[in-house]
């Protein structure tokens, strides 16, 4: 039994942050994740916190090795994001970031479906503000699409949970065997994991977030989805194939993109594909690999978004066709970005090498040749686009004579700390492996065979890039994706469901006002009103010439209100009597 859920520390911090002195808010943004991390170190597997609710027990905290490893990396990334965004003075953005991280922790430690759903929806509501906080027309529209899609996913999740409750009477969050309810829940989770064709919300919205907001966005939503899939759906074969498709799909679209943060967003889809596939493989090494890769990915993807965000902060630009020649002006940004690029590409001595290789190894152990091949193809595309093309056309390439603005020290410090962890995990994998859910970890990344395979793959990819460099130039184009199908008819849908409906309701409202007005005038002066209506029907334009005859006295025909009430009640009495005795 424990007295305090880990999520409560960050959520409480988000609530207290606006009331702290302005000068201390950025520092407090670091204190709360540090306290949460310290509390996680105190917790032991098997600890739990339950509270009664109606006829059920809500498990607000359920601790095991799987939840702990995700909790560790979430609090670490919340701290690093706070260092990177130390210069931010937008209190609402800071509180939203802390609430987002806290609700993600709530999902990870939830032991029942109701608690999970509660934190799941807070996560969606708090994260959308990190998009809207940029305060541009594009971010406003992207944020609206983001929240609508997540509300749809939440509705699917609610439907699945209620269906399962009716069938089994249980709200426990545990492994699900199958059935329609389980599939609904899985689709709700898969939407947050950005599994195609449910992925376009990610690549549409993450590039529109604030410089620091996108760092947080890259860390939590998709990885909480990986966690819940590992918890409830490990071994489901459909996830193995979905993940393999994701890995290649994201790489292909990333290579076609021009915006640097959109390129990185597509690579979230690709890298999460490795994790989803590892969960689907189901064996212990597969789930361990998915967990390890999620841990490494949160760090190196955050580092990549930090590097891209630094460029955007300093130049105000984020498109490859508008960047170039920044190597001398921003050497530290290039250095730290390349550490993230080497990590995501699986270069030896960097974190991605020791995590991604475990998932690929699980596919080989399961004799899944096609999945193994697709993962290796995706690795080639990852190094080609993130490790070579993006840094070349951003920091080298054509010199655009850009003059970058000074970068706050916190941004460089945040990148330096994240880079250090990426290298530490790559050099000493036991730092990560000892925290994985299934021990002992039966995988050794630094074998001669694995090293030779990786070096050959990376060397051939690099050589191919330089040979066809002139044909790989960035183009100022817009890549169409699945979101085209719901963005294209947006104007028609707006016309039908907003403009036309508004006009219809306005017309009905106007007609209702006219009928009420006519009823009031009829009740006040029945004979005078009937005379006016009859005269207007015979002579439509008579009102313009003479509103009423000179001999007409409206007050002579006016009835008291009580008379009209008696007449109406008499009519109702006649109708009732007719129905009773006819």
Check residue 24 and report its DSSP letter: G
Residue 533 resides in a domain: yes
What pLDDT, on a 0 to 100 scale, did the predictor assign at position 556? 45
Bridge-partner residues for 49, per DSSP? 61
Helix (H) or strand (E) holding 51: strand 48-53
What pLDDT, on a 0 to 100 scale, did the predictor assign at position 542? 45
Q: Nearest Cα to 80, choosing from 96, 68, 95, 97?
A: 97
Residue 335 resides in a domain: yes
* Rounded distance between C-alpha atoms, residue 156 and residue 184, angstroms: 6
pLDDT tens digits for range 443-456: 999 999 999 999 99
The three-state secondary structure class of 1 is coil
Q: Nearest Cα to 222, choosing from 294, 163, 169?
A: 294
Q: Do 421 and 531 fall within a single domain? A: no
Please report, for residues 75, 92, 215, 282, 387, the alpha-carbon distance to residue 13 in angstroms, rounded to integers and kept in the order given.
Answer: 13, 12, 19, 37, 37
End-to-end CA distance of the chain: 75
Chosen domain end from 419, 454, 477: 477
Q: Do 285 and 386 fall within a single domain? A: yes
Q: Do 247 and 317 fall within a single domain? A: yes
What pLDDT, on a 0 to 100 scale, did the predictor assign at position 285? 92
Cis peptide leading into 440, omega within 30 of 0?
yes
Is residue 531 packed enough to be buried (19+ CB in 10 Å), middle (13-18) or exposed (0-12)? middle
Residue 242 resides in a domain: yes
Bridge-partner residues for 577, per DSSP? none
Q: Nearest Cα to 524, choosing from 554, 566, 569?
A: 554
* Rounded distance between C-alpha atoms, residue 159 and residue 184, angstroms: 7
49 φ/ψ angles, rounded to the nearest 5 degrees: -140, 120
Residue 457 resides in a domain: yes
Range of the domain at 575: 525-581
* Rounded distance between C-alpha atoms, residue 38 and residue 443, angstroms: 29
Give the up-direction half-sphere exposure of residue 7: CA atoms within 13 A in the CB hemisphere.
Answer: 26
Which pTM was predicted?
0.85
Q: Do 365 and 248 fall within a single domain? A: yes
Q: Do 382 and 256 fall within a single domain? A: yes
Q: Do 473 and 558 fall within a single domain? A: no
Q: How many domains does the chain have?
A: 2
133, 96 contact by CB (below 8 A): yes
Q: Do 365 and 296 fall within a single domain? A: yes
Chosen domain end from 416, 444, 477: 477
Please count the other Cβ atoms lying within 10 Å of the Cβ belonging to residue 12: 15
Helix (H) or strand (E) holding 340: helix 331-345
Q: Nearest Cα to 273, choosing from 235, 238, 231, 245?
A: 245
The three-state secondary structure class of 56 is strand
Helix (H) or strand (E) holding 61: strand 56-62
What pLDDT, on a 0 to 100 scale, did the predictor assign at position 484? 73
What pLDDT, on a 0 to 100 scale, did the predictor assign at position 544? 45
Please count the other Cβ atoms lying within 10 Å of the Cβ belonging to residue 417: 18
Q: Do 304 and 431 fall within a single domain? A: yes
336, 307 contact by CB (below 8 A): yes
What pLDDT, on a 0 to 100 scale, did the predictor assign at position 510? 85
Residue 60 resides in a domain: no
Residue 286 resides in a domain: yes
Residue 213 resides in a domain: no
Q: Do 471 and 529 fall within a single domain? A: no
Q: Do 441 and 546 fall within a single domain? A: no
Q: Do 414 and 532 fall within a single domain? A: no
Q: What is the C-alpha R_g of the chain?
A: 31
* Rounded distance between C-alpha atoms, residue 252 and residue 81, angstroms: 29
Q: Do 406 and 551 fall within a single domain? A: no
pLDDT tens digits for range 350-381: 999 999 999 999 999 999 999 999 999 999 99
Residue 153 resides in a domain: no
Cα maximum dimension of the chain: 114
* Rounded distance between C-alpha atoms, residue 393 and residue 395, angstroms: 6
- 582 residues of the chain, pLDDT tens digit each: 566 889 999 999 999 999 999 889 999 999 999 999 999 999 999 899 999 888 888 999 999 999 999 999 999 999 999 999 999 999 999 999 999 999 999 999 999 999 999 999 999 999 999 999 999 999 999 999 899 999 999 999 999 999 999 999 999 999 998 889 999 999 999 999 999 988 999 999 999 999 999 999 999 999 999 999 999 999 999 999 999 999 999 999 998 899 999 999 999 999 999 999 999 998 899 999 999 999 999 999 999 999 999 999 999 999 999 998 899 999 999 999 999 999 999 999 999 999 999 999 999 999 999 999 999 999 999 999 999 999 999 998 888 888 999 999 999 999 999 999 999 999 999 999 999 999 899 899 999 999 999 999 999 999 988 887 777 766 777 777 877 776 677 677 677 766 887 888 888 888 888 877 777 777 667 766 666 667 655 545 444 444 444 444 445 445 555 666 667 777 777 887 777 776
* Rounded distance between C-alpha atoms, residue 437 and residue 63, angstroms: 11
């Amino acid at each position: 039994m424990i007295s305090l859920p880990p999520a409560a520390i960050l959520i409480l911090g988000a609530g207290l942050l606006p009331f702290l002195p302005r000068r201390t808010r950025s520092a407090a943004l670091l204190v709360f994740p540090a306290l949460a991390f310290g509390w996680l170190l105190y917790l032991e597997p098997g600890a739990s916190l339950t509270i009664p609710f109606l006829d059920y027990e809500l498990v607000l905290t359920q601790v095991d090795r799987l939840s702990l490893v995700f909790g560790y990396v979430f609090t670490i990334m919340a701290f690093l994001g706070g260092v990177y965004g130390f210069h931010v003075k937008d209190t609402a953005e800071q509180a939203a970031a802390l609430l987002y991280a806290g609700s993600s922790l709530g999902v990870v430690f939830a032991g029942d479906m109701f608690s999970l759903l509660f934190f799941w929806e807070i996560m969606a509501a708090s994260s959308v503000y990190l998009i809207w906080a940029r305060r541009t027309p594009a971010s406003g529209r992207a944020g609206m699409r983001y929240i609508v899609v997540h509300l749809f996913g939440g509705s699917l999740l609610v439907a699945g949970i209620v269906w399962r409750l009716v069938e089994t009477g249980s709200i426990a969050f545990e492994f699900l065997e199958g059935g329609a309810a389980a599939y609904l829940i899985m689709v709700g989770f898969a939407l947050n994991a950005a599994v195609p064709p449910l992925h376009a919300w990610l690549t549409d919205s993450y590039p529109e977030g604030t410089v620091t907001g996108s760092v947080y966005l890259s860390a939590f939503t998709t990885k909480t989805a990986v966690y819940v899939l590992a918890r409830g759906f490990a071994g489901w074969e459909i996830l193995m194939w979905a993940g393999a498709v994701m890995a290649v799909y994201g790489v292909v679209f990333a290579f076609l993109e021009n915006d640097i943060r959109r390129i990185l967003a597509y690579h979230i889809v690709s890298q999460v594909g490795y994790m989803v596939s590892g969960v689907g493989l189901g064996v212990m090494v597969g789930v361990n690999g998915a967990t390890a890769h999620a841990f490494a990915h949160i760090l190196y993807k955050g580092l990549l978004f930090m590097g891209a965000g630094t460029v955007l902060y300093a130049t105000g630009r984020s498109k490859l066709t508008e960047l170039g020649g920044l190597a001398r002006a921003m050497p530290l940004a290039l250095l730290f970005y390349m550490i993230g690029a080497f990590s995501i590409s699986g270069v030896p001595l960097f974190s991605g090498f020791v995590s991604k290789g475990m998932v690929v190894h699980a596919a080989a152990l399961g004799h899944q040749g096609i999945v193994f091949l697709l993962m290796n193809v995706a690795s080639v595309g990852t190094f080609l686009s993130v490790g070579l093309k993006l840094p070349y056309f951003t920091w080298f390439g054509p010199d655009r004579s850009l003059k970058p603005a000074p970068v706050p020290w916190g941004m460089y410090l945040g990148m330096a700390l994240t880079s250090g962890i990426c290298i530490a995990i790559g050099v000493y994998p036991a730092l990560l492996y000892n925290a994985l859910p299934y021990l002992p970890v039966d995988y050794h990344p630094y074998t001669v065979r694995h090293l030779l395979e990786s070096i050959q793959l990376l060397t051939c990819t690099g050589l191919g890039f330089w040979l066809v460099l002139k044909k790989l130039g960035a183009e100022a184009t817009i890549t169409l994706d699945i979101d085209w199908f719901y963005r294209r008819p947006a104007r028609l849908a707006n016309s039908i469901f907003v403009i036309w409906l508004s006009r219809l309701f306005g017309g009905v409202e106007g007609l209702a006002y006219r009928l009420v007005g006519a009823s009031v005038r009829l009740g006040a002066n029945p004979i005078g009103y009937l005379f006016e209506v009859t005269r207007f029907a015979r002579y439509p334009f008579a009102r313009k010439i003479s509103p009423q005859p000179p001999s007409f006295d409206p007050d002579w025909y006016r009835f008291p209100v009580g008379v009209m009430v008696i007449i109406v009640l008499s009519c109702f009495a006649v109708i009732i009597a007719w129905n009773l005795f006819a």
